[in-house]
Chains A and B, each alone.
Chain A
Amino acid sequence: MTDPLGWGRRYLMCPPSYFRVAYQINPWMVEEVVADAGRAREQWDNLVATLRAAGATVEVQPPEEDWPDLVFTANAGIVNGNQFVPARFRHPERQGETAHDVAWFADAGFGVSELPIGVCQEGAGDALPVGNALVAAYRFRSDAASHAYLSHLTGAAVRSIELVDERFYHLDLTLCPLDSRRAIIAPLGWDRYGCAVMKALIPEPLVLEPDEAMRFCANSVVVGSTVVMPACPPRVGRQLEAWGFDVAVCDVSEFLKAGGGCRCLTLALDVTLGS
């Protein structure tokens, strides 16, 4: 018996007004690469329209000139009901985003609970709900030590997964929960303990081949029975359709230059952990 996800109908997004590849903090970023501002805006607008068409509400956070990666709202923090746990970014290039994120969430009526200083955790990019658990990743951007604090702050049952492949530097490049039993997964990004833990959590996984994972297939957004994907190879599409999902492909190629896909551009605001 599968139930649809209990979350994913309300998202926070930030327009790419100042988006550019200004530095290199993951293997996908190459400073010489220039993102086309016009195309980026078109792709972002198209993603917003697709999500809305699928039935989602999209709230918009104002962009900030000094923080080009603010566009990747998935990393702003972790939402748990009316609680917001802001990220603690590993790289100084992104640390300035937090003040703007906290301001937005406070304005929107969220209670803000902070992780201790000195512990890195990059928001929903490294922590996604799977069933009753919060699957949280560590090594490249988030610290394993943050997981106990996350559990203290949110009451969530955390499952810690170690990421082992730097190309998949955030959890949301390797995991996309689809419903109560299924998820798109890229286990090549996890260590063997992480694989064993995920196997127990996800009875019916759609396991990505390496080339599919490299096309950011796991960095997708699920709205009810619609999966909004940066790319959808035929094998993946057939499986999703067989499970009853509609696939909408959104070209986000300008954002892929910075190592982010559809999921990275969104932050679900309707998550309540443990429910």
Chain B
Amino acid sequence: MASEVVEIEGHIIDSLILAKVMDLILAAGADYRVLEVEIGKTNVDMSRARLEVSTPDADALQSLLDELQVHGANRVVTADAELVAADTDGVLPVGFYSTTNLPTSVRIGGRWVEVRQPEMDCGLVYEGLIYDGEGRLTSVPMHRIRIGDLVVVGTEGVKVSPPSRPRGAHPFEFMNSDVSSEKPKALLVRRVAERIRRAKASGAKVLAVCGPAVIHTGAGPSVAALVREGWVDVLFAGNGFATHDLESNVMGTSLGVSVHEGTAAEGGHSNHLRVINEIRRYGSIGAAVDAGYIDGGVMYECVRRGVPFVLGGSVRDDGPLPDVYTDVVEAADAMRYLVPGVGVALMLASTLHAIATGNLLPAGVETFCVDINPAVATKLADRGSHQALGIVTDVGLFTSGLVEQLITPT
């Protein structure tokens, strides 16, 4: 989709020029949106209109704009965005353009350059020749800025497009409110499964972000099955989720509580510490799997299938597990590296990691936030991940439903 704003001034109503321009746009298979019209009060006064013209592709737009120019409708000249070179590593220039996760284009060298992987709360760095606009434009977080990076400053020449939501193609249409516990869950699960199938069919990746409650609620085997059957391509979690997943595999408990009987195991409060300790002895989760110490569970399936995972640490972590990134900036960078190509994100009973992931995802990624607490989805939306659809339900029920939809032959 390409669009441009044109302006036309004159006696465009009485001369039928505005009508003609609109007719020409539609006849070309393009569309217009009237942004502004000032109609002259008498037949001597001139009128002025601003139209946003959109076409399926940039070539069609150019030829339509050329045609409209004959009738006096000229492209509203947008100045190029200002680019300022960073003068300190890890510091954006003053007045830097702060990004959103929406599709964004920037005018450079007279052309609209699209941001490759939109990410919120970053700067935009342009690599290429500033006079031809043929370079790359990327969202770069503050700490990754290097001296000399050309950073977009100010908002002039920056265009942000709200994501389009075509009818009938998006799960949003079956939810009026984004977060609700009053929806038929089986229907929701079926629709999410459909979205996952569709994403996989189109070559997109499915990301699962898991909180420890996935294991506490007994959803571990379902998530493990989804990983095993190839329905999960990337996993983000913290030390807690991985620890309890490993603990439940080795000891049959999650935080000392039997995942089968739901009763506290004797001395169970230290079970997870013993497991972490052993894995630290092996050096990594992968090594523990290879040695046969771990023979099931979500982390096991990830290692076996080569599904990349990022475990982000926090200040209250026990151990932590040797695979955990203890530097949060490094953790975010590791997650950022795996985000391109993700088409569907499942946030499963996770608050902190869900929000951290939401911050990294372009708005176009379909995000389903499954939690028994509606506050998580709300919080995610409040922090800018407006695409997140909240599904208020028990994650164990939800994931077993997904397994039923995606794996169990029907």
* A residues with CB within 8 A of B: 132-133, 138-139, 143-145, 147-148, 151-152, 155-162, 191, 193-194, 196-197, 274
Contact = CB atoms under 8 A, between A and B. Distances in A.
B15 A145 contact: no
A137 to B, nearest CB: 11
B71 A147 contact: no
Interface string B10-32: 11101111011000000000000
Interface residues of B, number: 18
Contact of A147 (B11, B16, B19, B44): B11
Interface in B162-196: none
Nearest to A151: B46
B72 interface: yes
B43 A160 contact: no
A196 B43 contact: no
A155 B71 contact: no
Given A138-B72, A162-B71, A197 B14 contact: yes
A157 B11 contact: yes
Given A160-B11, A160-B72, A144 B44 contact: no
Contacts of B20: 162, 191, 193
B404 interface: no
B43 A158 contact: no
B280 to A, nearest CB: 74
B51 to A, nearest CB: 15
A148 B72 contact: yes
Interface in B67-91: 69-72, 74
Given A139-B70, A148-B72, A162-B71, A155 B44 contact: yes
Nearest to B11: A158
A194 B70 CA distance: 14
Nearest to B16: A193
A144 B70 contact: yes
Given A156-B44, A197-B16, A274-B44, 12 more contacts: A144-B72, A145-B72, A147-B10, A147-B72, A148-B9, A158-B15, A160-B11, A160-B72, A162-B71, A191-B20, A193-B15, A196-B16
B7 to A, nearest CB: 10
| Interface hub of A138, A158, A161, A191 (most chain B Cβ within 10 A) | A158
Nearest to B20: A193
A194 B46 CA distance: 18
A148 B70 contact: no
Interface of B is mostly: loop
Nearest to B23: A193
7 contacts: A145-B72, A151-B10, A151-B46, A159-B14, A162-B71, A197-B15, A274-B44
Contacts of B10: 144, 147-148, 151, 158, 160
A132 B72 CA distance: 22
B70 A193 contact: no
A158 B10 CA distance: 8
Contacts of A196: 16
Contacts, number: 62
Given A138-B72, A143-B72, A159 B15 contact: yes
A81 B43 CA distance: 21
Contacts of B12: 160
Nearest to A145: B72
A157 B44 CA distance: 4
Nearest to A135: B15
Nearest to B42: A157
Contact of B71 (A144, A152, A157): A144
Contacts of B72: 138, 143-145, 147-148, 160
List the 10 shortest-distance A-B pairs measured between CB atoms, nearest first.
A144-B72, A148-B10, A160-B15, A193-B16, A157-B44, A148-B9, A193-B20, A145-B72, A147-B10, A158-B11
A71 to B, nearest CB: 29
A28 to B, nearest CB: 23
Contacts of A197: 14-16
A130 to B, nearest CB: 12
Nearest to A162: B71
Contacts of A148: 9-10, 46, 72
Contacts of B70: 138-139, 144
A156 B46 CA distance: 10
A148 B71 CA distance: 12
Interface in B188-208: none
Contacts of A194: 16
Contacts of B9: 148
Contacts of B17: 144, 160, 193
Nearest to A201: B14
Interface in B55-109: 69-72, 74
A133 B74 CA distance: 24
A159 B11 contact: yes
B326 to A, nearest CB: 63
A145 B74 contact: yes
Contacts of B69: 145
Contacts of A158: 10-11, 15
A274 B20 CA distance: 25
A220 B72 CA distance: 29
A151 B19 CA distance: 20
Contacts of A133: 14, 43
Contacts of A162: 20, 71
Nearest to A159: B15
Given A157-B44, A160-B72, A274-B44, A151 B11 contact: yes
A17 to B, nearest CB: 37
Given A147-B72, A274-B44, A157 B14 contact: yes
Contacts of A147: 10-11, 15, 72
Nearest to B15: A160
A236 B306 CA distance: 89
B50 to A, nearest CB: 14
Contacts of B19: 193
A152 B44 CA distance: 11
A76 B141 CA distance: 61
B17 to A, nearest CB: 5
